[in-house]
Amino acid sequence: MTAETVDPAAWSCPAPLRDSPTVVMGHGGGGALSAELVEHLFLPAFGAAGATELDDCAVFAVGSARLAFSTDSYVVRPLFFPGGSIGELAVNGTVNDLAMSGARPLCLSTAFILEEGTPLTDLARIATAMGEAARAAGVRLATGDTKVVDAGHGHGVFVNTAGIGLIPDGLDIRPARVRPGDAILVSGDVGVHGVAVLSCREGLEFGTTLQSDTAPLHDLVAAMLHPGSPDARADIHALRDPTRGGLAASLNEIARAAGVGVDLVERSIPVPAAVADACGILGLDPLYVANEGKLVAFVAPGDADRVLAAMRRHPNGRGAALIGTVVAEHPGLVVARTAFGATRVVDLPLGEQLPRIC
């Protein structure tokens, strides 16, 4: 499309974008509204300069090397929560976006938008958390930027990180490679980060001992790729870190991108009692709650057992489980078989149940 098609004066787009003339919280939720914003506003507006799709991670070649490139802004509230802060999220989140293409993260940029009046001790705590998370992940914080906005026009600290990673030779991990028969593995308990953050939101305090699961996942991915000898690589087709929109959003995105169906066995999905209890009280579905240190993997059936075993041997994959299978039926749909033998469609969420969770 040319830029003329998005002349704002004549600008048209399908519902639900057209139903709201303004930005709503759901546009940042990683669900259907986010996807519409990309498809019907950003991609036409960017035109020839844009990617054909704005994936979490771009891949480009430099000489014979293939690099992964990804960015995320972090606006989580509160800034500090059980198990971490916006600082760990900003490092681990972008490390994980790179890792989901199989890349080894090399370096990150860090950009801060600070609200006038924010205590410098808060900023120092956040920056220290970033330094420690980067050291733990083995990435370098290579370049940065700081802007300040007037009080009342920001919210304490917003952090953006962009990251560059190196994709090992011959590795090709992306949604389009997913095939019927693939095993669907999750690396552990779902819904933990979202419930941990929610537990300390103003007005929503409830008793839980849950801590955010924020963690870097590239080392787990490396272990999954080489479950036996270092020479034999397991055939992992696609990887996702189910953050905003939870497991439901990630599975729906993959199902749509690959044109396949996803069959889940609901009782196989590891939901800790504390998450189930909190979700029960608040009327939330754990499949839609954000995770930070978990991944979902689509693996060729012949390799699924040894990849699962490798995950369980790794500290970040101890609770790994087989949760479903890719099928040729109902392409684009995620269907869960419930504990009672019934089936339900697990839709792409419109927005997010819990905004500003990352």
Query: What are the backbone angles phi and psi of residue 167, rounded to the nearest 5°?
Result: -90, 125
Look up tokens 């990251």; give the residue: 163
Of 334, 337, 338, 339, nearest in space to 288 by CA: 334
List C-alpha distances in Å: 168 to 48, 165, 213, 230. Answer: 29, 10, 27, 13
Question: Which listed residue (15, 63, 170, 209) binds its own copies by CB under 8 A?
Answer: 63
* 160 sits near its own copies (criterion: CB under 8 A): yes
Q: In the complex, what is the shortest distance from the CB of residue 343 to its own copies, in angstroms, rounded to a whole number?
A: 33
Question: Which listed residue (78, 132, 168, 259) binds its own copies by CB under 8 A?
Answer: 132
Q: Which of residues 17-56 bind its own copies (CB under 8 A)?
A: 17, 20-29, 34, 37-38, 41-42, 45-51, 54-56
Closer CB to its own copies, 140 or 313, in the complex: 140
Q: In the complex, what is the shortest distance from the CB of residue 102 to its own copies, in angstroms, rounded to a whole number?
A: 16
Of 275, 290, 294, 271, nearest in space to 358 by CA: 290
* 153 sits near its own copies (criterion: CB under 8 A): yes
Question: Which listed residue (39, 80, 82, 127) binds its own copies by CB under 8 A?
Answer: 127
Beta bridge partners of 337: 265, 343
Closer CB to its own copies, 114 or 195, in the complex: 114
Of 105, 126, 106, 104, nearest in space to 114 by CA: 126
Question: Which listed residue (14, 78, 119, 259) binds its own copies by CB under 8 A?
Answer: 119
* 115 sits near its own copies (criterion: CB under 8 A): yes
* 14 sits near its own copies (criterion: CB under 8 A): no
Contact segment (CB under 8 A) with its own copies among 119-127, 190-198, 261-269, 327-335 equals 119-127
* 345 sits near its own copies (criterion: CB under 8 A): no
Q: Which amino acid is at 328?
A: A
The span from the CA of 20 to the CA of 22, in Å, is: 5
Beta bridge partners of 71: 162
- 3-state secondary structure (DSSP) of residue 137: helix
* 154 sits near its own copies (criterion: CB under 8 A): yes
